[in-house]
A and B are shown apart, each in its own frame.
Chain A
Amino acid sequence: MSNIQNVSRRGFLEGVFGAGALVLGARFLPESLTAAETDGAAFHPSAYLGIQPDGTVIIIAHRSEMGTGIRTVLPMTAADELDADWKKVRIEQAIGDPKYGSQNTDGSCSISNFLDPLREAGATARLMLERAAASKWGVPASECRAQFHQVIHSSTGRKLGYGELASLAAQQPVPKKEELRMKTPAEYRYIGKDVPMVDRDDLCTGKGKFGIDAKMPGMVYASIERPPVLGGKLKSFDDAEARKVRGVQQTVVIEHMKPPYGYQALGGVAVIADNTWAASQGRKKLKAEWDLGPNASYESGAYKTLLMETARKPGKVVRTAGDVDAAFAGAAKIHEADYYVPMLAHAPMEPPAAVVEFKDGKVIAYAATQDPQAVQETVAAALGIDKTAVICHVTLLGGGFGRKSKPDYVAEAAILSKKIGKPVKVTWSREEDLKFDYYHSVAAMYMKAAVDEKGKPVAWLQRSVFPSIGAMFADDAVYAAPFEMGMGWVDVPYDIPNLRAENGPAKHHVRIGWLRSVSNIYHAFGVQTFTDELAAAANRDRVEYMLELLGPSRTMNMKEDGPHPVKAGDKVDPYPLDTGRMKRVIEVAAEQSGWAKNKSGKGHGWGIAAHRSFNTYVASVVAVEVGDRGQLRISRVDTAVDAGLTIHPDRVRAQFEGASVFGTSIALMGEITAADGKIVQSNFNNYPVSRMPEAPYVTHVHVIPSTAAPAGVGEPGVPPMAPAICNAVFAATGKRIRELPLKRTKLA
């Protein structure tokens, strides 16, 4: 990663492996993945893991590194099954290519989807090395054992290194999956151990190369003036002053996009210059006139009113059990509440950045991207070339959070390179990043419950309204996509006989996109705050009340009651919603935080929230202190996690530590608004995110040991944070927070 080289796609593999190497194909990918990825066409095996004659094991990291450690963790699992010496392993970042399976590093699924393929790749290579040694020695393969980078003949003690066996092993027939012997957990060398991240030292010395650091010979720098309102078009522009700026070379028009907007370049006028500074100075001198288009009256205050009103009207039923209306009609006691969560921006520390060269009908791109295959498709569509003519190299990402799986910024650089015949670097400013994001949806929710004399719900209605991500791909979509409803809405795990979930319509006026944990953010806020409200009304202990709501431990029938199995083609849901596991994380978070002995009141409060997302069960207990002047401090977070089998304990903890800070930003301060169709916020002064003093002082992560199917860890820590913080604030102050961010409520 530290050396960005200019190589072709074919040259990539030749350059990586060289002659005489044992190169393994990625045919190990499960059919359910590959069939979808190759669009029914034949699946072409590709280089995935190889051993060079000098003994170097090369493992391809095909998922993007944005801070989870996946560039280390997945290769680690292959190295484990190979029983390789980690010091002799070199990791190469894959270019975009469907033969690797999905590279869209998104949805917290790298381990759940690729643990088995990577382990099988390692086990396959190990078996081929053993067989190669057996044939060389003329002994049965059963007497040969691969161990820590060499194969040993058990009776004679003869040894051959992996490198020495590489070319012979390459001639072995590739064994069938049934022939493989996978390691038992006791044999793991790396899985379950805190192997240092391969990029760690580079990241502490300034050597890590991000998209913004990429460079190509002859490259020029672009700064782009974009339509200030979604759907706006350029009427005219005057670049006379811009062109006078020292270092500015020329200006170039990028055509406006047409709906559905997808990942297209937004359009506008680019200033091309010798360096980043000159480009940005030139752009400030540009005078552009816009036809603002149909979204020019979008205003967040009026839109909020509209969403809140919509949430009070009957919507589309997405899940129903029992007879909710009858139960409400006969109920003694009804609780109702409205909740609101504003738009949010991703604001990764590295803004969108890419370098692209279009030459001789082909494209070479270096991009901080979560999805290099989407880069191929998007750039190909923008330039009218075949996607196989687009080589996308993936750099390190300075944060992603979902923003960088949408490669509009790479398309911009590609369009400009084609127009001016030079490699072009596009770097977004922070202002552009906040004003032209794919925003996390604003959402309104209405919750209603009828409770019995003990305060337990007998009927439950929940309705959420938000503009859908689906509108990026079908412009007229106003209802939520099924995957959005599957994020903490239809899968609400409570044991309530009469329960209905609904969704109301909302038209989008900005680009909408997924942000770390997506719809779970507002859904968890609504459900978990409402749960706390009901418990408070019944004067019940929150933990006991939550456990009671979850009912007897059971596996929910998600085919009928919730989202369908996670992967198309799965006959059995590999991740059934198990309320017992949900209850367990609540119990562990309570126990570890000292819940039973903590007494809230007088400026001290403890709050809890629990939520399952990306097939991982999470409960967080948050402790807050609220001062006389309303100043809020989060002194401690205890997060209990059941993510099934986990691979790297330290990186799992790191993800949940980080998620507690990300969730704090959402709870306390995150808010994007629009006026006259334009985004109001411009930088970290008016779109604040958590800084050290506002972040939880300490987050203790309690990972429950499990051998269940591995689930996500990157996102699931985020959803419980906002409701847990707000529930803690209620415990401390008696003030109920139904609208985020919390900074809008005076606590003193």
Chain B
Amino acid sequence: MIQLKVNGSNRRFDGDPEMPLLWYLRDLLELTGTKFGCGAGLCGACTVHLDGSAVRSCQTTMQAAGGKNILTIEGLSASGDHPVQKAWMQANVPQCGYCQSGQIMQAVALLKTKPKPTDHDIDEAMQGNICRCGTYQRIRQAIKTAAGVTA
């Protein structure tokens, strides 16, 4: 039996310990805000926080998630008013929006460690998150807005 905390709630899981956290969140908990994009840690669509750090949930087994604190996009804020979410809305970042949960979770983690990121910091932190619609320029803008740094 694996125990973990998801968005503040205690959860128990007795299935395949090799199952990626992603599919536990999506199929079993129905927290579908976290997306599947590649299943190989290459695109960042499945990014969640594990004990406060950004991880790829498609590469995190349930075994590895045991005893940990998981935060998904659904748990980031009660009403979509996290500063990063607000900055995303202000810049009208999403096009199709599919990758944006992962982008936002990655950006939140970046700003925790680097509250005033440079362009280089943003490139480094965000290059694992693919947006096929090509919203990168607005993602960069939104991160700067949330950080209160000028473009």
Residues of chain A at the chain B interface (Cβ within 8 Å): 65-69, 194, 196-197, 199-210, 212-213, 215, 221, 246-247, 275-278, 280-281, 347-351, 396-401, 427, 429-431, 650, 654-655, 657-662, 683-685, 689-693, 695-699
List, in ascending order, chain B residues with CB within 8 A of A204's CB: 80, 85, 88-89, 93-94, 97, 100, 104
Could you say which residues of chain A place their CB within 8 Å of the CB of B68? none
Assembly CA distance A458 to B99 (angstroms): 50
Q: For chain B residues 23-37, which have a beta carbon within 8 Å of chain A?
A: 23, 26-28, 30-37
Contacts of A202 in B (CB 8 A): 97
Is B11 at the interface (CB under 8 A from chain A)? no
**By the criterion CB–CB under 8 Å, are B97 and A695 in contact?**
no
Report the Cα distance A160→B74, complex, angstroms.
Answer: 42
Q: How many residues of B contact A (CB 8 A)?
A: 59
Alpha-carbon distance A398/B102, docked complex (angstroms) = 13
Q: B85, A205: Cβ atoms under 8 Å?
A: yes
Q: Is the CB of B89 within 8 A of A692?
A: no
Q: In whole angstroms, what is the CA distance A625 to B36 when docked? A: 35
A205–B85 alpha-carbon span in the complex (Å): 7
Given contacts A277-B27, A398-B96, contact A691 B130 (CB under 8 A): yes
Q: How many A-B contacts if CB must be within 8 Å?
A: 187
A348, B136: Cβ atoms closer than 8 Å? no
| Max chain A C-beta neighbours (<10 A), residue from B16, B38, B88, B122 | B38
* A276 adjacent to B27 (CB under 8 Å): yes
Residue of A nearest to B88 (CB): A204
- A398 to B20 alpha-carbon distance, docked (Å): 21
Write the nearest CB–CB distance from B42 to chain A, whole angstroms. Answer: 4
Q: Name the CB-closest residue of B to A717.
A: B134
A658 close to B27 (CB less than 8 A): no
Q: How far is the CA of A684 from the CA of B37 in the complex (A)?
A: 10
Q: What are 5 residue pairs bridging A and B, where the CB atoms are less than 8 Å apart in the complex?
A: A206-B32, A206-B74, A398-B98, A650-B92, A683-B39
Give the CA-CA distance A545 to B92 in the complex, in Å. Answer: 38
B92 contacts A196, C-beta separation under 8 Å: yes
> Given A200-B92, A212-B36, A696–B131 Cβ distance below 8 Å?
no
Asked if B134 and A660 sit within 8 Å, CB to CB, the answer is yes
Q: Check: B5 CB closer than 8 A to any chain A CB.
A: no
* Known A-B contacts A201-B89, A206-B74, A276-B26; A349 and B132 likewise in contact (beta carbons under 8 Å): yes
Task: For B42, list chain A residues within 8 Å (CB).
Answer: 430, 683-685
Binary A-proximity of B72-100 (CB < 8 A = 1, otherwise 0):
11101100100001001100111111111
Q: Is the CB of A693 within 8 A of B123?
A: yes
Q: Kindly list chain A residues whose C-beta atoms are within 8 Å of the C-beta of B8.
A: none
Of B30, B127, B132, chain A has the most CB atoms within 10 Å of the CB of: B132
A398's nearest neighbour on chain B, judged by CB, is B98
Cβ-defined contact, B97 with A693, below 8 A: no
Instruction: With A208-B97, A277-B23 as known contacts, state yes or no: A662 contacts B36, CB within 8 Å.
Output: no
Closest A residue to B80 by beta carbon equals A205
Chain A residues contacting B45 (CB-CB under 8 Å) are 349
By beta carbon, the residue of chain A nearest B20 is A277
Interface string of B101-133 (1 = CB under 8 A from A): 100100000000000000000110011111111
Does B144 belong to the interface (CB within 8 Å)?
no
* Residues on the B chain within 8 Å of A427, using CB: 36
* B131 close to A430 (CB less than 8 A): no
Minimum CB–CB distance for B87 against chain A, Å: 9
B54: interface (CB < 8 Å):
no
The 6 closest A-B pairs by CB, nearest first: A206-B33, A661-B134, A398-B98, A203-B97, A67-B96, A67-B95
Nearest CB of chain A from residue B85's CB, rounded to whole Å = 5
Bound CA–CA A348/B38 (angstroms): 11
Q: Interface on B for A, CB 8 Å cutoff? A: 15-16, 19-20, 23, 26-28, 30-40, 42-43, 45, 72-74, 76-77, 80, 85, 88-89, 92-101, 104, 122-123, 126-140
Check A350 against B35 for contact (C-beta < 8 Å): yes
A551 CB → nearest B CB, Å = 34
Q: How far is the CB of A207 from chain B (nearest CB, A)?
A: 7
Q: Is the CB of B130 within 8 A of A684?
A: yes
Chain A's closest residue to B101 (CB) is A206
Contact for B32 among A213, A399, A650, A655, CB less than 8 A: A213
Q: Which of B16, B34, B97, B123 contacts A692 (CB 8 A)?
A: B123
Residue of B nearest to A246 (CB): B16
Closest to B42 in A: A684
B99, A349: Cβ atoms closer than 8 Å: yes
User: Separation in Å of the B62 CB from the closest CB of chain A?
Assistant: 10
B151 to chain A, nearest CB (A): 9
Shortest Cβ distance from A88 into chain B, in angstroms?
A: 21
Among candidates B34, B35, B88, B134, residue contacting A695 with C-beta atoms closer than 8 Å:
B134
| Cβ contacts under 8 Å, B36 to chain A | 212, 276, 351, 427
* Bound-complex Cα distance A697 to B80 (A): 28
Contact assessment for A350 and B32 in the assembled complex, using a CB-CB cutoff below 8 Å: no
Given A201-B80, A349-B132, A660-B134, the answer on whether A277 and B98 have CB atoms closer than 8 Å is: no
CA distance A693 to B130 in the complex (A): 11
Given the known interface contacts A204-B80, A206-B33, A691-B130, the answer about A654 and B38 at a Cβ–Cβ threshold of 8 Å is no
When the two chains form their complex, are residues A199 and B94 in contact, meaning their CB atoms are under 8 A apart?
A: yes
Select from chain B the residue with minimum beta-carbon distance to A347.
Answer: B132
B99: chain A residues at CB < 8 Å are 349, 398
- B40 proximity list for chain A (CB < 8 A): 430, 683-685
| CA of A391 to CA of B128, assembled, Å | 38
- Complex Cα distance, B105 from A183, in Å, reads 44
- Complex Cα distance, B90 from A266, in Å, reads 43
Looking at the complex, which one of B15, B33, B126 makes contact with A207 (CB distance below 8 Å)? B33
Contacts of B88 in A (CB 8 A): 204
Q: A349-B96, A350-B98, A398-B96 are in contact. Are A657 and B134 (CB under 8 A)?
A: yes
